[in-house]
Amino acid sequence: MARIAGVDLPKNKRIEIGLTYIYGIGISRSKKILKISNINPNIIIKNLNDDQIIAIRNILNNEYELEGDLKRLENINIKRLMDIGTYKGKRHRLGLPLRGQRTRTNARTRRGGKKTIAGKKKAPRK
């Protein structure tokens, strides 16, 4: 099992897909990394040799922000927006969608599940 950037990559997947398990690497960045390191993207992770793993590690350490550093950077940026009082910062603080989505009916992920009120009495029928 290959361990790159603090993440155990799944051993039975292609390296092209396996690299996407690292936070901050998508499929296009994965292809670019493999092209730079001259590794066949169809190799299964368990078939990689040590030199190939070291080559991937070196590229990732020198060129990209990944995992904890990237998450920390994102949190700093969000905190900065909240501190200077931008619209996006206020939406972050309130836990509402930031990018213009409607909130009247949707936005359940951002606002939380439906809250029911226990014991609320309905108006009597006439």
CA dihedral 113, 117, 118, 121 (to 10 degrees): -150
- For residue 46, the domain's CATH number is 1.10.8.50
Vertex 13: Cα angle to 34 and 25 (nearest 5): 45
29 inside domain: yes
Which residues face 8 on adjacent strands?
3
Which tens digits make up the pLDDT trace of 82-104?
999 999 999 999 989 988 888 88
Percent residues over pLDDT 70 in the chain: 98
Q: Which helix (H) or strand (E) holds 7?
A: strand 7-8
> Where would I find the H helices in 85-124?
87-94, 108-111
75 lies in which domain range?
Answer: 68-99
Q: Are 72 and 58 in contact (CB under 8 A)?
A: no
What total number of domains does the chain contain? 2
Question: pTM of the prediction?
Answer: 0.73
